[in-house]
Structure 1
Amino acid sequence: MTDAYDLSITRLIDAPVETVWRGWTEHLADWFCPRPWTTEIVELDLRAGGRCALILRGPDAEENALEGVYLEVTPYCRIVSTDAFTAGWVPQTPFMTRLDEFFEEHGKTRYTATARHWTAEARDSHAAMGFETGWNAAADQLEEVVRRL
């Protein structure tokens, strides 16, 4: 079911789910944001309630700190995170909930990444920021990582 406030990308990656999962979970800094931006992992506690803290850095010294928690981590299947809380379930102004899903499809992996927003305005703002281009570029980089594994 597609939520009215979702933005989503999907692709078929030519690798088993276990390999794509490893690429996502073990090599996040290598693919998470489009080059020339880089990702610094502050903390990546991949469990329900675990902290996710990243700093995205741009080529002109831009910085975007991301802070949230994991709501669900089902190995080889699904990772759900949100910026609506920080560690310890401390509420903060939310922007989205992120769903990353991994489905086996004839020996390959159907990978879907979804940004679920609270409002149409937040969804539209994210789209205007370059969601489709940026998240597809990150997925391309994830595929590059997977090919190396």
Structure 2
Amino acid sequence: MSEHDLVIERRMAVPRAAVWRAWRDHATEWFCPLPWKAPEVEYDLRPGGRSHVRMVGPEGEDMVLTGVVLEAVEGERVVTTDAFAPGWVPQTPFMIAITEFLVDGDGTLYRATARHWTEEAKAQHEAMGFHEGWGTVAGQLEAVAKRLHEGGGA
């Protein structure tokens, strides 16, 4: 762990395959805390692949986050950054996101890490509500994974 990391961990009572499927295939359902929505969530899960998220707020706010995938291990780990746009074009960095799906008995330990370049960026992200927001998102992800695991969704 880096000194500039913010981390959310949650044990989910659902198998890793279901959590991974929810993360990979149903991100528009869980990606940001309600009432925000994420109508566009795309990950080209290969090193150098595009990561793109568009979030829309309840008062018409529109936020686009575009970067690249640094690492992708099917069902286990995805690392993205906003330090580059697709094609390795440098842009002003904010963080590296590390998402891990670890087998934990009959469930999953989900770990989401936001790694920042500076203490200031870490503090800014924390002040934006990192723990509450990313914690809410983890709960929403778990709910989608449970629904998928129980056969209630594609």
Shift of 1:107: 1.3
Query: Which letter does structure 2 place at the counterpart of 1:106?
Result: G
Q: Percent identity?
A: 50
Shift of 1:47: 1.5
Task: Give every structure 1 segment of 4 or more consecutive aligned residues whose post-TM-superposition deviation is greater than 6 Å.
Answer: none
Partner of 1:8: 7
The C-alpha deviation readout for 1:129-148, integer Å capped at 9, x for no partner, is: 00000000101100110111
The C-alpha deviation readout for 1:35-74, integer Å capped at 9, x for no partner, is: 0000022642122111011111000001111010000000
Structure 2 residue 129 is the aligned partner of structure 1 residue 130? yes
Partners of 2:93 and 2:42 in 1: CA distance: 19
Q: How does 1:19-98 map to 2 (within 5 A)?
A: 19-41=18-40, 43-98=42-97
The C-alpha deviation readout for 1:92-114, integer Å capped at 9, x for no partner, is: 00000000001101111000000
Structure 2 residue 97 is the aligned partner of structure 1 residue 102? no
Structure 2 residue 111 is the aligned partner of structure 1 residue 112? yes
Q: Describe the shift of the 1:60–1:51 C-alpha distance in structure 2 as closer, same or farther (beyond 3 A).
A: same
Q: Describe the shift of the 1:139–1:55 C-alpha distance in structure 2 as closer, same or farther (beyond 3 A).
A: same
TM-score by length of 1: 0.97
Q: How many corresponding residue pairs?
A: 148
Q: Describe the shift of the 1:47–1:78 C-alpha distance in structure 2 as closer, same or farther (beyond 3 A).
A: same
Shift of 1:76: 1.3
SS at match of 2:35: coil
SS at match of 1:49: coil
SS at match of 1:126: helix
CA-based RMSD of the aligned residues comes to 0.9
